[in-house]
A and B are shown apart, each in its own frame.
Chain A
């Protein structure tokens, strides 16, 4: 019996390391060692907490992006959806201070869902490719933000303390912002793995033809992923304004690139059909560590963007090489 159990244990370890995410964990650890030697402060609870809080909004958005990429699409409008919902929430808070702050999150979710639904309808029923659709709505939604605010900002002293304080409220020693991110991770993980729709997203992304042959409604799935992305961006927008205590028209510009980077770093296949929430969370954490570590190791800010891009490319190349090797080994096994 003991040998059997031993084998089981060995197999599960093997399985764990065969996963795409494993190489990322390894890389993360490899990167942490020199950083920690240089500055032991880096892994202090305080700093870890800062990193996690910095990454909370990104992980929410990256998960939305994940569902779209999983269905073999892309959502370029995430930054603009964040800006519009963030601006809307900030302005509501300014004009109606009595409106309860937690409800602003619901407002963000609702507006985001609508904006995502428009993307989804254009892609699913208008048959416009996702990259074109969201390239268009990226500008439209950003423009709508300017129109809504008439170019003005909402600043900290125009917002209520309860709204600004919302992400910072500590519950069991962890901020509400982090709790929300964790809740999103757990819920979407369940959704992607244990619901029919989740399964259908993988099927459509992996092989739309085969999915059609088993009766999967492709248009519905494409609509769902964009609504999911919009929903999560709306939530992120409401949180963004509170966390940074201001709503500016340019907020979250270029954020789509970070969301996409977190996904591909987390092993999400760009051609659809493969990836997991766990990987996206790891990919986000990876980006967070890189962003926070570069100042710690006294790298000039001029080099930071460069280093970020480099690390994304290196991590991805490693992933590709590992995949390629695995496939080759497999083919050999089959032949032999």
Chain B
């Protein structure tokens, strides 16, 4: 067996309150396409970020060709020969292919010290020829398609003499013909002895292109092996492996009449023909892999984005929101996925953040005359969420992630919604806060609120939901009752293995 090019041992990474990686190991050999497999949040991205010098590890070792290494920054990692090709290509659209490829490692004329564009252009042409790509080195990147941009990124990796190329979901935006083209290039790289770490949620791709695999789950190493010796079944089991024995405070609730009925809802390019019904007191889980279209669906329900087809009914009447205000007036609240970017005004105090959605009711003719009332209001809901802060006058940016999330929740329960949409409410928060959020969700449901819970964590979905809607690339592939909502069934639907059986 060949000597490994990359050996990772006991790699550990702590974030405040979270262990993102826990003694992970992985061995990558030259000329091998190595699949890195795991659910969302399993630790793949963290691992990639450590390998490419974006994060520093907390413990463990990484060895490249037998020598132990540690990177201080991304340039270090590139120079050592580890290059990542990102999901969302990080390129400069207004610059040419050549300029993009040599960004950060320009060639200079050894005598005049001038940038040697002639040489760089020639080299670029050579790289593109080597990959049999018909791209002009002078083309601006903004004029290239998604697939071609990927190829340029790969060319950049080659220009850096990469030993290990990391491809994070490289096919997610490609057509099947483009995927073929990509695979041809991956095979070329392989033949040249490069090692490729291939991250994908698509099993058919893993079985087509990969030689070896490593599975992560909850930041831990689970297993590895040759792809040819395994089955999809076995890999899925490794990915979800655990029993859903974690305690979820799911209360038995009385499920009442329909609140929201969505029929054939579509949005061009994001999701199509989505139908589901949300009842009083029901927790409706939404599961899917990244890019499945769950967030886009609820954004449309909340009136942020318009729909391109289908209809909605709210409390039995017609419902067509034109802006979030319409949705809020009718009793819908949306706790968005990214609390810092979408949920909070970081430079505002907790009081002002929490009262923001209700500011109309806390003011008279536009004047906020009763500041006592505003403070009481925020205190009531803040205390309900047990926010830990020096006071309600401090700015939201001074709080930890978990407490920020509590502020966002407090802000929305204050609107006393009949329908509460939660988009990844426990993403990136500590275990204790997670439990508090779960408790809160159950309680809201027990009070008759209809809840849509988007989550990428299977145990959370299985533990909390009365029914589960599973999406795959914009389609609803399954709607499962609590009894049928097993990890296997959900995962199969999420990777598009089955179509909805009616």
Query: Which A residues are within 8 Å of any B CB, using their own CB?
Result: 193-197, 199-200, 202-203, 206-207, 209-217, 269, 273-274, 330, 334-335
Contacts and interface: CB of A to CB of B under 8 A. Distances in A.
Contacts of A210: 336, 341-345
Nearest to B335: A213
Contacts of B369: 194
B346 interface: yes
Interface stretch (B46-54, B237-245, B263-271, B358-366): B358-366
Interface in B327-364: 328, 334, 336, 341-348, 352, 356-357, 359-360, 363
A217 to B, nearest CB: 7
B363 A274 contact: no
B398 interface: yes
Given A194-B367, A202-B352, A207 B357 contact: no
A274 B347 contact: yes
B371 A194 contact: yes
Interface string B297-312: 0000000100000000
Most chain B CB atoms below 10 A, which of A193, A210, A212, A335: A210
Interface in B358-401: 359-360, 363, 366-369, 371, 398, 400
Given A206-B347, A207-B344, A213-B304, 4 more contacts: A199-B359, A203-B348, A207-B341, A214-B328
A206 B346 contact: yes
B325 A215 contact: yes
B341 A209 contact: yes
Given A330-B398, A334-B16, A195 B324 contact: no
Contact of B368 (A194, A215, A274, A330): A194
A211 B345 CA distance: 8
B323 interface: yes
Given A203-B356, A274-B347, A209 B342 contact: yes
Contact of B356 (A214, A217, A330): A214
Contacts of B342: 207, 209-210, 213
A216 B324 CA distance: 8
Nearest to A197: B366
Contacts of B411: 214
Given A207-B344, A213-B342, A273-B345, A196 B324 contact: no
A199 B349 CA distance: 11
Nearest to A199: B359
Interface of B: 16, 304, 323-325, 328, 334, 336, 341-348, 352, 356-357, 359-360, 363, 366-369, 371, 398, 400, 411
Given A214-B356, A334-B16, A206 B348 contact: yes
Q: Is the interface of A mostly helix, strand, loop or mixed?
A: helix
Contacts of A334: 16, 398, 400
Contacts of B356: 199, 203, 211, 214, 216
Contacts of B360: 196
B18 to A, nearest CB: 13
A199 B356 CA distance: 8
Given A213-B304, A214-B356, A215-B357, A195 B366 contact: yes
Nearest to B352: A199
21 contacts: A194-B368, A194-B369, A195-B363, A196-B363, A197-B366, A202-B347, A203-B345, A207-B344, A210-B336, A210-B341, A210-B344, A211-B356, A212-B304, A213-B324, A213-B334, A213-B343, A214-B356, A215-B324, A273-B347, A274-B347, A334-B16
A70 to B, nearest CB: 11
A7 B111 CA distance: 69
A195 B345 contact: no
Given A206-B348, A335-B16, A214 B341 contact: no
Nearest to A203: B345
Contacts of B363: 195-196
Given A196-B360, A202-B345, A214 B366 contact: no
A50 B345 CA distance: 41
Nearest to B369: A194
Nearest to B16: A335
A164 B324 CA distance: 51
A150 to B, nearest CB: 43
A214 to B, nearest CB: 4
Q: What are the nearest 8 A-B pairs in CB distance?
A: A215-B325, A206-B345, A214-B357, A207-B345, A215-B324, A196-B363, A194-B368, A196-B366
B341 A195 contact: no
A214 B367 CA distance: 18
B345 to A, nearest CB: 4
Contacts of B324: 212-215
Contacts of B368: 193-196, 199
Nearest to B355: A199
B327 to A, nearest CB: 8
A245 B304 CA distance: 53
Contacts of A206: 345-348
Nearest to A198: B368
Contact of B328 (A194, A215, A273, A274): A215
A210 B16 CA distance: 25
Contacts of A214: 324, 328, 356-357, 411
Contacts of B357: 214-215
A193 B348 CA distance: 12
A14 to B, nearest CB: 11
A273 B400 contact: no
B304 to A, nearest CB: 7
B348 A213 contact: no
Nearest to B403: A334
A269 B371 CA distance: 25
A334 B430 CA distance: 13
Nearest to A209: B342
Contact of A273 (B323, B348, B366): B348
Nearest to B302: A213
B367 A195 contact: yes
Nearest to B324: A215
Contacts of A335: 16
Most chain B CB atoms below 10 A, which of A193, A194, A330: A194
A213 B339 CA distance: 11
A216 B371 CA distance: 20
A148 to B, nearest CB: 35
A282 B304 CA distance: 40
Contacts of A202: 345, 347-348, 352
